[in-house]
Chains A and B, each alone.
Chain A
Amino acid sequence: MSIATQQAASPPATGTVQKRSGFLSRIVAHRTDYLYVLPALIVMLVVIAYPIYYTIELSFFRTPPNLQMRDKVWTGIDNYVRVLSSPVFHEVTIQTIIWTLASTVISFLLGLGAALSLHREFVGRGLMRALLLIPYVISAVAASYVWKWLYHSDFGVIGAISVQLGITAEPINFLDNRQTVLASLIVVNIWKEFSFAMVMLMAGLQTVPDQLLRAAQVDGANTWNRFWHVTFPHLKGVSMVTVLLLMVANFNSFIIPFVMTGGGPADASHIWITHIYQLAFGRQQWGVASAYAVILFIVMMFLGYFYVKALTRGDEARA
């Protein structure tokens, strides 16, 4: 190594030592504060860190149905190989992506539309707001059962109406058909969560300065231009947060597909979480289910990383 290189490398090393020293001294200075949060940290370690560690550990073992968990058999990366080479994995992954993207995008757009509509003053606005919030506050299990009956392939209300109106000759088979089941469940999911997006965006709309909108109007901007050049930029932050939260919620959705179809028929409505649940609790393949869960965890971390990068890009540029 040349002297020049050594000289160039030295300052950061010194800086790191100083930084570390400063970091430690800050911890010492605030030791009482850390003591206060210690119980919470311990609880988090127990309920978050340990399950993650145990899931990762379990993903390297096989758990035959005649053996207790403590007698599990080491298989190395066999579970990961099985998962990644399984046709079901690919099928369920595609379904999960469709479920997540469709639910997130459509819920967001509907929520945005509803928020913009309710931002205006009109008679009955409070009532409309309350009505649109109903799907969000209804229990997901109860909503799933109601929709299951609405969709029922033999006696469902929707099917009966479509027959009565002459739209179809027979009741539409929503849930017992591999081609229609996922789309049917996505509709229920959107119905259930678009009002969450609406509430978030309504809060965001409160931050749009009224003066700017009026100034734009005075300058001759039409409704679309006012929305696109004034309102929407102000909603960027809350929109990103809303989309992130919707995506995480949809990736981890369980209740609607599980209650309404259990992942069927013939796996057509399984998404990752329901498939993991079936592997673990239905088939007791705890090791394979854990491998799935670890892969899902990694995917989520990647998504989160890139999302945060995108979210903070503007801040970094400004800095």
Chain B
Amino acid sequence: MTKLQGRGMRSAAPTRRRLIGRAVATVTVASLLSSTVYAQSVDLSQWSPEYVRSIAGTEEVDTAEHCASVVPLDYEGRLTYWWTGPNEASPQIERDINEQFWAAWEETYPNIETDAQNIDYNQLLDKLRTALLGNAGPMVLRLQILGGVEFASKGYFQELKPEDVGYPTADFWPGAMKSVTWEGTTYGIPTNNETMAFIWNADIFERAGLDPETPPATWEDVVAYSKQIHDELGIAGYGLVARQNAGNTPFRFMPQLWAFGGGALDESTDSPTYETVMLNNEGAKAALQASYDMYVRDKSVPASALTNTQNENQAPFIAGQLAMMIAHPAEYAKMVDLAGQATGADKEVADTVVANMRYGLIPEGPERRAVVFGGSNMHFIEDEYVDGGFDEMAAKAFACFWNSPEWSTKLAWTGSNPGNLRGFKTEWMKERLDTIKFLDVTTSMLPNGVPFPVVPEATEIMNIIVPDMLQNALTERMTVEEAADDAAAKVESLMGGGL
């Protein structure tokens, strides 16, 4: 947990000079927005690795100057903030940038007393639910893309759109904006968006008799490759993850489900209504069967998959005991870190793994190639649920600073991409592309991104029901058919207001 304290808190009551300053700032922002609100800084229709490279480094930004036009830099106030930041499993550079951010924030707004809590990904939702019941929430919150709608539908979040902190909505991914919209109201700002990619160890492929430079093209190939690797070398082929109540599980299984033509609801269709349950259609059952084949029939994936998150896949991968997995671009940086810490014979193995690490597109299925459109959003919590009350100006200053092209890019350094699309034009994006291997591959998966259903029940469906379905099938507590039908019945009941 990171706890930050700014300078001592002084009176937040605005003086006349400050009020005038704010009025001027408001007028300035309004005039700026009037000319920029409908203009998009990047052209999404041209999106490709080449386009991303061509725009990187073409624009200079001054974060402090821009945010000063939203909230004066001498504003005195108080801020409480919860988010999931870097942890021990994060690459060192993520932790360094995190520290740089907080130093820059304190330097830019020295009079905003800040209490920031870095909360584990799997704990944040539970903690937030409990805190809000006791009116003890933070002012500002960054939440995984899946979690927001539940709280918005309950009325915990304030209406909030990028324009409120000086950025045009057009500068954010349309899919990301959809994830912060509930019943026509926007209640958040996308901070970062990413898609994952398929990672494999070329050395293991070669030793198992596979083409080292060619990843599996389809999910059927993944099953076959995983078996071949296990049979030939006695190690795990694919890094299946099926832990319950952990976001890692749906992020890796849903692309498989969508590829086969399944879905939780109809979120993978062009115009989802979220009224059709697709967890037990033929596609979903085929996807579940593929996982069953790998875990039960072939035993070609880690036996610990039922209790594993992606973190538990890192050690076997760097040890050359796991051949394939789905992960962020940050995984490469993490492996470099791990290799740097290894010694003796372990170091040799780890260096070989890093040298043979490859990124490719997530395999296709009979219906499509799909990946979860992931990321996080920033929200403001309604005053009555905030511990100590809501400081609007402090919150806006912070949202402006965090979501600036500069910090939106830096804070997503290895694991994601800037939510603010102008970040793609900054010098830091260019540096990322130059230094982070495979970033262009994961970025090019963005057009295949499918957002999770934007319904209040999404967290339970994704974190509980989908992993339950996997576990029921993989432990043979139920057949594949029964597990799919059971999960579909649970979703239907849940959406109908039942258990």
A contacts, CB < 8 Å to B: 62, 64-69, 82, 148, 152-155, 171, 173, 175-178, 260-268, 278, 281-285, 288
Q: Check B475–A268 contact: CB distance below 8 A.
A: yes
Q: Which of A69, A177, A178, A264 contacts B244 (CB 8 A)?
A: A264
Can you pick out 24 interface pairs between chain A and chain B where the beta carbons lie within 8 Å of each other?
Answer: A64-B456, A66-B153, A66-B154, A66-B456, A66-B457, A68-B156, A153-B303, A153-B304, A154-B302, A154-B303, A154-B321, A155-B304, A260-B307, A262-B243, A264-B471, A265-B244, A265-B306, A265-B471, A267-B468, A267-B471, A278-B245, A281-B130, A284-B150, A284-B460
A67 and B154 contact, Cβ closer than 8 Å, known pairs A82-B499, A264-B306, A283-B460:
yes
Q: Check A266–B460 contact: CB distance below 8 A.
A: no
Who on chain A is nearest to B460 by CB? Answer: A283
User: A265 to B494, alpha carbons, bound, how many Å?
Assistant: 22
User: A161 to B129, alpha carbons, bound, how many Å?
Assistant: 44
User: A192 to B266, alpha carbons, bound, how many Å?
Assistant: 47
A283 partner residues in chain B, CB cutoff 8 A: 460, 464
Q: Check B245–A64 contact: CB distance below 8 A.
A: no
Known: A67-B154, A173-B303, A265-B244. 17 other contacts (CB 8 A): A62-B497, A154-B303, A154-B321, A171-B303, A175-B304, A176-B306, A260-B307, A261-B307, A262-B244, A262-B245, A262-B307, A264-B243, A264-B244, A267-B471, A268-B477, A278-B245, A282-B460
A278 partner residues in chain B, CB cutoff 8 A: 245, 464
Q: Check A263–B302 contact: CB distance below 8 A.
A: no
B474 partner residues in chain A, CB cutoff 8 A: 265-266
The answer to the question of B272 belonging to the interface, with a C-beta cut-off of 8 Å to chain A, is no
| Chain B contact surface mostly | helix
User: A155 to B313, alpha carbons, bound, how many Å?
Assistant: 11
Q: Which of chain B's residues 307-339 have a Cβ closer than 8 Å to chain A?
A: 307, 315-316, 321
Nearest first, the 4 A-B pairs at minimum CB distance are: A153-B303, A66-B456, A265-B306, A153-B304
The answer to the question of B176 belonging to the interface, with a C-beta cut-off of 8 Å to chain A, is no
The answer to the question of B155 belonging to the interface, with a C-beta cut-off of 8 Å to chain A, is yes
Who on chain A is nearest to B122 by CB? Answer: A262
Q: Check A153–B302 contact: CB distance below 8 A.
A: yes
| Chain A contact surface mostly | loop
A178 and B236 contact, Cβ closer than 8 Å, known pairs A66-B150, A264-B306:
no
Q: Which of chain B's residues 279-306 have a Cβ closer than 8 Å to chain A?
A: 302-306
User: A262 to B308, alpha carbons, bound, how many Å?
Assistant: 11
User: A310 to B346, alpha carbons, bound, how many Å?
Assistant: 61
Q: Shortest distance in angstroms between B72's beta carbon and chain A's nearest beta carbon?
A: 35
A67 partner residues in chain B, CB cutoff 8 A: 154
The answer to the question of B472 belonging to the interface, with a C-beta cut-off of 8 Å to chain A, is yes
Q: Shortest distance in angstroms between A55's beta carbon and chain B's nearest beta carbon?
A: 13
User: A226 to B166, alpha carbons, bound, how many Å?
Assistant: 85
B contacts, CB < 8 Å to A: 126, 129-130, 133, 150, 153-156, 236, 243-246, 302-307, 315-316, 321, 456-457, 459-460, 463-464, 468, 471-472, 474-475, 477, 494, 497, 499
A173 partner residues in chain B, CB cutoff 8 A: 303
Who on chain A is nearest to B473 by CB? Answer: A266
Q: Which of A65, A68, A176 contacts B304 (CB 8 A)?
A: A176
User: A268 to B478, alpha carbons, bound, how many Å?
Assistant: 13
User: A284 to B236, alpha carbons, bound, how many Å?
Assistant: 36
A282 and B126 contact, Cβ closer than 8 Å, known pairs A66-B154, A67-B154, A82-B499:
yes
Q: Shortest distance in angstroms between A100's beta carbon and chain B's nearest beta carbon?
A: 23
B468 partner residues in chain A, CB cutoff 8 A: 266-267
Q: Check A282–B463 contact: CB distance below 8 A.
A: yes
User: A153 to B305, alpha carbons, bound, how many Å?
Assistant: 9
A261 partner residues in chain B, CB cutoff 8 A: 307
User: A176 to B302, alpha carbons, bound, how many Å?
Assistant: 10
B315 partner residues in chain A, CB cutoff 8 A: 155
User: A288 to B444, alpha carbons, bound, how many Å?
Assistant: 44
User: A176 to B499, alpha carbons, bound, how many Å?
Assistant: 27
Who on chain A is nearest to B123 by CB? Answer: A281
A64 partner residues in chain B, CB cutoff 8 A: 456, 497
Q: Check B475–A266 contact: CB distance below 8 A.
A: yes
Who on chain A is nearest to B302 by CB? Answer: A154
Q: Check B303–A265 contact: CB distance below 8 A.
A: no
Q: Which of B129, B246, B302, B307 contacts A284 (CB 8 A)?
A: B129
User: A176 to B305, alpha carbons, bound, how many Å?
Assistant: 8
B236 partner residues in chain A, CB cutoff 8 A: 154
A268 partner residues in chain B, CB cutoff 8 A: 475, 477
Q: Check A281–B126 contact: CB distance below 8 A.
A: yes
Who on chain A is nearest to B478 by CB? Answer: A266
User: A2 to B494, alpha carbons, bound, how many Å?
Assistant: 63
Q: Check A65–B457 contact: CB distance below 8 A.
A: yes
Q: Shortest distance in angstroms between A66's beta carbon and chain B's nearest beta carbon?
A: 4
A288 and B307 contact, Cβ closer than 8 Å, known pairs A65-B456, A154-B236:
no
Q: Check B460–A68 contact: CB distance below 8 A.
A: no
A177 partner residues in chain B, CB cutoff 8 A: 475
A69 partner residues in chain B, CB cutoff 8 A: 133
User: A281 to B126, alpha carbons, bound, how many Å?
Assistant: 6
A152 and B471 contact, Cβ closer than 8 Å, known pairs A66-B154, A278-B464:
no
Q: Shortest distance in angstroms between B245's beta carbon and chain A's nearest beta carbon?
A: 5
User: A284 to B156, alpha carbons, bound, how many Å?
Assistant: 15
B129 partner residues in chain A, CB cutoff 8 A: 281, 284
B472 partner residues in chain A, CB cutoff 8 A: 266
User: A262 to B302, alpha carbons, bound, how many Å?
Assistant: 18
A282 and B471 contact, Cβ closer than 8 Å, known pairs A69-B133, A152-B304, A154-B304:
no
Q: Check B475–A178 contact: CB distance below 8 A.
A: yes
B494 partner residues in chain A, CB cutoff 8 A: 65
Who on chain B is nearest to A64 by CB? Answer: B497
